[in-house]
Each structure stands twice: as structure tokens, then as C-alpha cells.
Structure 1
Amino acid sequence: MKNKEIVYVVSDSVGETAELMVKAVSSQFNKSDVEIQHISYVEDTQDLNNVIAVAKYTHSIIAYTIVIPSLKQYLDERTREEGIIAVDLMNPLMQAFMQKFDAAPERQPGLMRKLDDNYFRRVEAIEFAVKYDDGQDIRGIKRADIVLIGVSRTSKTPLSMYLANKKFKVANVPLVPEIPPPDELFDIPKSNCIGLVITPDKLNEIREERLKHLGLTTQANYAKLDRILEELDYSEKIMKRIGCPIINVSNKAVEETADLILAMLKKRRVMYHE
């Protein structure tokens, strides 16, 4: 039985990039019998000596993504001395970038993994915002980085999604006079909670537009000024009871309100570390 051909994938990080490229190339040769052996997180020349020894013994190829210059140089020199085929999968494109952008690379392992981590944290935050939107599940209050509270149509949902794209886990809770606020709001640090308020006339305008969009009469109680005043008065009492920061969103874009919230968070961190 014919032994499988071995390609050693060597990296000073995980080595996922090299593995994908090796698989792509082997598929072009209909090579289903290629075995990929991982040597990840290479840190020193001893790690390289080990893979060089086994690659020479098995007459194998080394495909690598090593960005630390001293390790790359050592691997290039030693494989050349031993007559081993070693392919740098990143350097040609790295050189092209250096030429095009007239800049030097970071030469730091694992940067792509950091980018991936940022991506997955953002996705997780967005999923969190959807799950704990509009008080659907009060369990999110204690798990959230930020809890937004306010009456209906104070931009709680768009703010939650905007902040989620900044990788913050956000829950939002509507305040309605007929429904007692969740006890959890009073158990979390008050700086984790942000109250959103709005002027009565602006809220009246927004709610009337909302009713028109839904094909409903603007005379509904939802948009009546006395009902709005009742809701706003109730919500501000709850916010004062919690002792949370309050932002008036009347004439602010979502981005502007989000910047104010992020500034509050930054200030909170500075105070915490002092």
C-alpha cells in the first residue's frame, strides 16, 4: 500500500492559512492522499529543527507562514542545506504589499486570529442585542455591558444594534406605567444603565409618524400628548430611583447618542482603574 505524502504546515501562529492553501493546491492535483501535519505556535529554532528532521526523513514538503524574521531566515537556510522543499506562503504577497503601500508589516504572529476574534465578538454582541431587545428576556439585564431604558420610540433598539456593532452586549427595557420595572434594573451597577428621555412634542411627532406608517389613526392613545406626558413622568421617576445617567435623545442622531454612551463608559473605566 502506497504511503501518504506528508506536508508539514509550520506556523508561528495557528497555521490555518497555510492549511487552507495546501488543501487548495493538493485538490488541483487530485491528491486525496496528502496528509497535513500541523506544527503550530513555533517559538524557537529547536521547534524548527524538530520539523526539519522529520521532513528530511519522510522526504516531505514544508509549507509555512512564519512572520518572525529570525525564524523565517533560519528555516530558509536550514531547509536549503538539507535539500528540503520549503515554501513561504506569505512572503510574496507581503513583499507586494510593502512595495505598493510603502510600509513595513507588523511581523507579529496571530494578527488574523485577533481580527477573527473581533468579528466573532461583534456577532455575539449583535445576537445578544436581538435576544434581549425590548425587554423580551430580563435575564439579559445582568449579563449586559449596557442596559438602555426609556419609553417607546426613544431609539433603544437602533442604539442597541449600533453599540452591538462596537462589540458591546446591550439589553434594552421599555418603561410602561402599567408594568412594574424588572427588579434586576435595581441590582446592576447604576452606571451600567442608561436612561433615554425625549421632549413630549418630539415623541408625539415620532409616534404619530409611526402610526401613519402602520396605517393606524393618529388619534390612538399611543400618540396622545397626555399619555406621552404620563409615560415620560413615570420613566424619569424610575431613572432617578435607579440613579443612572440620563441622555435626552430629542434632536440627536443614533450615532451621536452612542458616542455619548461610549464616552460615559470610557470615563467609568478610567475612574475604576484610578
Structure 2
Amino acid sequence: MPSPAVWNVVLDAAPDADVVLATDFPVTGRNEGGFADLTPHLGLDCALWQTVAPVRVPTSGVDQDEYLAPWLTEVTRSGRTVRAILGYCAGSVFAGVLAERIAARQPTAPQVVVFDPELVDVPTVHLQFGRVVGNMTAVLTPAEVSELADAAQRLAARPGSTPAAFAAELYAVFEPVGSTALRRAGLDEDYAAELVALVGSFMTYLGVAAGLDPRPGWSRATVITSATPTSGLNRMRATAGAAPIGIADEVRFAVEHRDLLRTPEVAATVAGLLAAGSRAGR
């Protein structure tokens, strides 16, 4: 079994069974579907592990190889063959990179399926931070929400900021406000600190993703695309000056981004892709 601080076992299987990896940053209470929603409908005969992001305070200089190492080390230590790698939103960056690194370690390259993949830039970090704040309106006052939104807008407008530096600055603004709000809501100091650190880990996750190039892995990926214009390939194709993204195939669904991983038709399509990939790999 992998370390629970590195991989969350969504579906277990025999120790010698293959594994499907899923890259995402799930948190309790988010309004988006997750791999825990998708997995029961895939009909897998192997394990499925989901990433657990390292607990880190965001900086502009996180070592990417060091960040990825625990995930790769645990997979290697397990002795399992990675059958496929799934990625959601910004997690698709890690899916693409892990796919390339794992392909160099085993005879057959893992299949890659990504859901509304995102190349992380400053607007992506800004959007995701806004979602974090939006999910905390039960404990933040309207003035605190406004303070955080205004600070994020001001920092995002500064020329030359990198996504990693922007993420670190956002966390520096959020940390004292979030800590105060959570303690005011009655949480003890340790639990409040844990929740605030989770936001820091998410900002680090985005900052690291921004510095990675997933395009070699995406070049052989099947992309599952939602109808949300501000997500995934829809957003990238509508962004002026954005470089085209090469992929192997795309399947589009008339559902919102937040519902991709909990839509039965999506699950059926992905189950078919994974079954076909499993047969092809034998």
C-alpha cells in the first residue's frame, strides 16, 4: 500500500495488479465532481490511486523534481505497472508529466486521459484563488472577501508576475485573514492552521504546475472536454496568442466543467477508453 500522505487509494486491488493514477487536488466541500465520483463507474479490474499534494508553503522557487519525486517513488516501490493516468483541470499538467516519466520506466507507456486540461497561468491562479475564497464565505465577512478579491486583482494586474510568484503572494495575503476567520468561527488553532496550510498547498500545486511542460504527454492523450467556455481546451482555443495544443483525440460533452467527473455518459466513455487501452497493452 502506498503512503497515505502521497497517494489516496480510491480503489484497491491485488498487490500485483496494475494501477491507474489520477491527478487532482480534491478538497471536502468543493462543488466539482472528483475521481471518487468517477471511479465506481469505470469497471476497473485494477487499483486506482489519486494524488495527495505535498504540504508546502508556496514560493516562487519550489524544486519541481523534488515535488514530483514522492509520487514517482511510491509507484516504483509498489512494483505495479501503470496502466493509465487520468488528470483533471490543472492536475492534467501533472498527468502529462508523470506519463512521460513513467513511460521511461516501464515497457508500455501508460494511457493518458485528461479532463478539461489547463496550462496554468496567472489568470488560472487568480480564478482558482477566487474559488477558494468563494468556498469560505460561511466564515469570511463581506469585508474580508472584498479585501482578498481586491488584493488578488491588484496583484494580478502587476506586469511581469509569474504564476508561482503570484500564487505565493496570494497566500501571503490570505494566511492572516483566513486564520483569523477560521478561529473566529470556533475552530481550534491547530485545525485552523491545517485548513490554511491546505490553501498554501493548493497555491504551491498551481505554482509547480505552471513551471511544467505537459505537452509531450498530452500529445498522446484523449481529452474530455466540457461545454464551459472558460475551462480546458475551450479557454485555450479562445485565448489570443495561445500556442495550439497537440492531442491524440477529443470527446466533447454538453455538461459543465464541474460535472465532468460525475456525468454517467462521461464515465461510460472513459470506461470504454480504458478497457480498449488495457486490451491493446496486453
User: What TM-score do the two structures reach when normalised by structure 2?
Assistant: 0.34
Which structure shows the bigger proportion of residues in helix conformation? 1
Larger radius of gyration: 1
User: What TM-score do the two structures reach when normalised by structure 1?
Assistant: 0.35
* Bigger RCO of structures 1 and 2 (CA < 8 A, at least 6 apart): 2
